[in-house]
Chains A and B, each alone.
Chain A
Amino acid sequence: MEAIWSWFEWLYEAHGVNLSIFYDSLDRDRFFFGLLTTIRLSLICIVASVVIGVVGAWLQTSRFKWTSRLVQGYIQFFRNTPPLVQLYFFFFAIGGVLPKVPDASGHMVPPIGNFTWAAISLSFFAGAFNVEIFRAGIEAVPKSTSEAAEALGYTRLQSYIYIILPLAFRVCLPSLNNNLVNLVKTTTLAYVIAVPELLYVSSQIWSDQFNVREMMNVLLFTYVGLVAVLVFMMHRWEKTLKIPGYGR
């Protein structure tokens, strides 16, 4: 391992390519912690936003007027405002007025930290789009199918979970795919509220080492890699859900 690290040090000295994230232990720790934070934030937001989408789409088709209105209001709020503004809003505007609680060492701190705010804000942001994506999928399921389910004695919730949603999923997977890829890329915005994700740690590193060019390349390739893994998994999922003659 040490040999690999010192090879990068040689690379810097001999060719001026300063990849300090490999040979400098502080930068290495920072960068891999940033990578981990990005992965963690992405995973939490993906799961939470899909759950919000499924539940939201269910509530939207509800018979009660006010639930669908509530969902509509939520979608409008989160879809019509920039995610960057939402992050600032949650962290500085909402976070500032919440009652403070003592932490382990007795300091009074806000009950919700910056990582949690980022997770909440980005999940709701992507969730708003997911609701619409799932709605499109649900509407693509023929009316006769849900009528058949009803005739077989399924309740509305049962037919949603066992009949409509599995079919709708296949239809909306491509656009869901798109939105989740976007979500992973949007996690870079958490940088503005000092969540130590990839962009944040990279900017710390290039401010110290002045290796802006190298870090920009590293960042770009890291995100290409992260998104490639996500897309690969989503395609696998699409394949396993495949029904002949229905969707891809």
Chain B
Amino acid sequence: MSKWFATICTVFLCLVAGAGASLADTYEAIKKRGKIVVGVKADYRPWGYRDPSGELVGLEIDMAKDLADTLAVDLELVPVVGSNRMEFLNQEKIDIIIATMGDNMKRRKVVTMIEPNYYAGGTNIIASKAAGFENWTDLKNQKICGIQGAYYNRRVLQLYKIDLVAFKGVPEAVNALQQGSCVGFVYDNTWIEKTLAEGGEWEAYEMPFETEDPSVWAIGVRHEDADSPFGLMVKGKVADWHRTGWLLEHEQKWGIKRSPFLVEMNEALKTRAK
């Protein structure tokens, strides 16, 4: 009995000690491991999605690659969704989040948002032209598809009293929209613009409203990395991407509409560097 107890205690102590050790410097840990684990989206074209061969590609994947190159380590991509990415980070399943994450005060309590922000998007809906929506208030009590865990859900629920039907990922929500289970899909305007530009089966759809609630996107790291070498390195990298026009270049590469935010950031940081 006492032997058992001792064993259990030892195991428990090891677990506690192990957890403590891994809380040390993320930079050291990544170097030692020889690889950085990045949480990315797998269903958000063109930021992070799977190409026909199943490979994860997109603008944010390029960012992750560039980060890994800078650190001279290998890159491991872990697909995350809105409702689990911050938990993954804090459970140390991933080292960093680059997954179209909107930056807000509530989230800042849970993870550290890297400044400068790397993008800005807003909320809009995609709906069939036949639905004839003109105003956000037209959505009252209408079934609108959405994504579980999106930051704007609460706002549109409270403001416009929509009947939100939230799915786990984009493919399910898009399918539900196309089969008519909901009359619109509330999502980020950048995705909607990109999707509508594809034409084809999307000809009959539109983005009927003014984009609302602009929100900046940020890379997320754990709180203890706020001022650690790793955190500072990522901050420098993002500033660099803005200053050198890397983000503008890649925005174009992935066919995203020129974002005023990126142009503004590029101007501001370029002049400051002089």
Contacts and interface: CB of A to CB of B under 8 A. Distances in A.
Interface in B34-87: 82-83, 86-87
A114 B181 CA distance: 8
Interface in A104-120: 105, 107-110, 113-114
A88 to B, nearest CB: 9
B205 to A, nearest CB: 14
B94 to A, nearest CB: 16
Contacts of B153: 204, 207-208
Contact of B87 (A194, A208, A212): A212
A192 B183 CA distance: 19
A233 interface: no
Nearest to A117: B181
Nearest to B107: A210
Contacts, number: 62
Contact of B179 (A105, A110, A194, A209): A110
B123 to A, nearest CB: 15
Per DSSP, are chain B's interface residues mostly helix, strand or loop, or mixed? mixed
B271 interface: no
Contacts of A107: 131, 180, 183
A177 interface: no
B176 interface: yes
A207 B181 contact: no
B168 interface: yes
Nearest to B164: A204
A114 B87 contact: no
Interface residues of A, number: 24
A100 interface: yes
Contacts of B150: 207
Interface residues of B, number: 32
A234 to B, nearest CB: 33
A195 to B, nearest CB: 9
A224 interface: no
Interface in A205-229: 206-210, 212
A95 B172 CA distance: 13
Interface string B165-201: 1111000100110011101000000000000000000
20 contacts: A26-B157, A26-B158, A109-B181, A192-B168, A194-B165, A194-B167, A203-B148, A203-B149, A204-B148, A204-B149, A204-B164, A207-B82, A207-B83, A207-B149, A207-B150, A207-B153, A210-B86, A210-B107, A210-B109, A212-B87
Given A92-B179, A194-B165, A200-B166, 20 more contacts: A26-B154, A26-B157, A26-B158, A107-B183, A109-B181, A110-B180, A113-B181, A114-B165, A114-B181, A194-B145, A204-B148, A204-B149, A204-B164, A207-B148, A207-B150, A207-B153, A208-B106, A208-B153, A210-B86, A212-B87
